[in-house]
Chains A and B, each alone.
Chain A
């Protein structure tokens, strides 16, 4: 039986994060195809409910990627994104769910490594922790 491919969702801001993803592809960098990219106008637009909903609907791990905090296209968007990711992590911890399943990354549009590195890290987490529904039937 083929190995199960982990499900990783990445919310990427359309500024630096998406540019970094495109640059990594153009530079010939490889990353795991398990990732589903959701392009958002700004990482600050990502709300906790989006991250939780992704987990609820079958993602094994979710990450948010925004601009560098001191060089955010919308000034403080990626700071907002990180705060929300941290809040979701705290909720998961309270619920007894591994908080490593959710992570925030920052990238510069000129960094070809940032995106593949984030994907690799989250795919590793997803593989290590396995699917959320493994404890029983998925809802």
Chain B
């Protein structure tokens, strides 16, 4: 899932200050799970902004609402009226949600309320860790199911660097060394021979370095004829 963190209330308030009517739009998907932009977080942010305005004597209108998935146009469409009626849309979803609203209503101002951080998993209650960078060419079948690209500070492909010490990373001793973890996992799986396999330099063209990536599945796409039919129904 996508992990995000709320921007400080003061920073959000500063961004929103020039606008009278602000729609705070949350998302019930990833950012709700990482407690950054779900229903409760939207309510709390709206309330905190109102308390701040009350203290500073600023008058603004805030409306908090949440959609099922802000990165999908169908769900955003459900709150179209509020979006169009607002001077500013403050997105409490990941950047994908904010950009979806921006693309759908290019004349509207859409500001991010969250800092989109990484692809991660809920490790334990209140803790999320990064496990993938979306490089576009997954190799975890050769590394015991642990991604060295995301979890090694240097994204090493052929074992640890010289800074690995007692299973920890030299960058921060609180971070586990990914290659130590890979070694332990492969040992457990009795596949240690894989650690000796030399991985050639990675082809990063599938990653972000190649520019914006677009993924298509022709069997799922609509033909022009189907699109016209769908539009007619709508």
Chain A residues in contact with chain B, CB under 8 A? Answer: 47-49, 52-53, 55-56, 91-92, 94-97, 132-139
The secondary structure that dominates the A interface is: helix
Q: Given the complex of chains A and B, what is the CA–CA distance between A56 and B47 in angstroms?
A: 7
In the bound complex, residues from chain A placing their C-beta under 8 Å from that of B47 are 49, 52-53, 55-56
What does the 1/0 interface line of B1-43 toward A look like (CB < 8 Å)? 0000000111101000000000000000000000000001001
Q: Given the complex of chains A and B, what is the CA–CA distance between A135 and B54 in angstroms?
A: 7
B229 CB within 8 Å of chain A:
no
Q: Given the complex of chains A and B, what is the CA–CA distance between A52 and B44 in angstroms?
A: 7
Contact check: which of B10, B40, B43, B57 meets A95 at CB < 8 Å?
A: B10
Contact check: which of B8, B51, B56, B58 meets A52 at CB < 8 Å?
A: B51
A56 touches B44 (CB 8 A): no
Q: Looking at B50, B55, B57, B59, which has the most chain A CB atoms within 10 Å of its CB?
A: B55
B52 CB within 8 Å of chain A:
yes
A56 touches B10 (CB 8 A): no
B54 touches A96 (CB 8 A): no
- Which residue on chain B has the smallest CB distance to residue A98? B55
Q: Given the complex of chains A and B, what is the CA–CA distance between A137 and B226 in angstroms?
A: 56
In the bound complex, residues from chain A placing their C-beta under 8 Å from that of B53 are 139
Please report which residues of chain B, range 36-79, place their CB below 8 angstroms from some CB of chain A when the two chains form the complex. 40, 43-44, 47-59
A95 touches B54 (CB 8 A): no
B55 touches A52 (CB 8 A): no
In the bound complex, residues from chain A placing their C-beta under 8 Å from that of B8 are 94
